[in-house]
Amino acid sequence: MPPVRPYQGMEPGAPVLTILNPPDRCHQTMHVLLIEDDEILGDGLKAGIEQTGWVVDWVRDGDAAQRAFEREGFDLAVLDLGLPKRPGIDVLRWLRRCGNQVPVLILTATDGVGDRVTALDAGADDYVVKPFDLDEVCARLRALHRRRVGVSSAVMRYQNIEIDTSTRSVTVDECLVPVSPKELAILQALLESAGKPVPRHRLMSSICGWDDEIGSNVLEVHIHHLRRKIPSLTLKTVRGVGYRLD
């Protein structure tokens, strides 16, 4: 790839680079449901994944997990098998019976082949055995998301815009453009559905979790910044729905 240049749509004196992380870190579009009853492990997982830029909501038992799935759509789920009130395997089977195909990464404390086969046959997409490394969890989630949206590469391209989800960088005409994590999340969600309206609530869920305090115009502010930073962005407002990238 030729040397990158500052994008001409940037304001004078603006920094050239986005925040870059090592390639094995997670990118930040996804809204993840974490289902884990261990407070220490759950707190560490939630904090660690959120530091990479993803939105994570955390529930601690099987009944709460089902209620969460019933009221909201998620891009990915991390599911512990050993849950109180309702075992994780029952949550998984219920989820698939309902026709919900959200990718599910199983957390298990046992390395037995039988447990893994049971979970995979019940509809799990992948699994990791405790104790695990956070970077491995992120890498597996990232791969599950790419598989779901039909993308095999970490690089997304649309017209003159390119997003590298592994380094969380945006280039326009091979020039790096500085964007915030939430701006990047919105832009990636729009690219994934280019040509189709993306509902406002879907964009909001990509940048805000249950515990976030949000203003009524927070999405519009980020959209305004994206339009200013990328003047060639053909982003249309779809009244009563959301936004569409043409």
pLDDT means over runs of 10, the chain (246 residues): 43 34 41 94 88 85 95 91 94 94 90 85 92 87 78 75 81 89 85 86 73 69 90 89 89
The pLDDT assigned to 39 comes to 94
Per-residue confidence (pLDDT) for residue 19, from 0 to 100: 28
Q: Are 98 and 73 in contact (CB under 8 A)?
A: no
Measure the CA–CA gap between 80 and 130, rounded to whole angstroms.
10
In three-state secondary structure terms, 188 is helix
Q: What pLDDT does 92 receive?
A: 96
Domains along the chain?
Answer: 31-148 (3.40.50.2300), 153-245 (1.10.10.10)
**Per-residue confidence (pLDDT) for residue 211, from 0 to 100:** 54
Q: What share of the chain is helix, strand, coil (3-state, %, to 5)?
A: 35, 20, 45
Q: Given this model, what pLDDT does residue 150 score? A: 65
d(CA 56, CA 87): 21
- Determine the pLDDT at residue 168: 77
Amino acid at 176: L
Both tokens of 188, joined, read: 């990636």
Closest to 158 in 3D by CA, of 180, 173, 136: 173
The pLDDT of residue 201: 81
What's the CA angle centered on 103, arms 97 and 105, to 5 degrees?
A: 105
Closest CA to 188 of 217, 215, 149: 149
> Is the Cβ–Cβ distance between 154 and 165 less than 8 Å?
yes
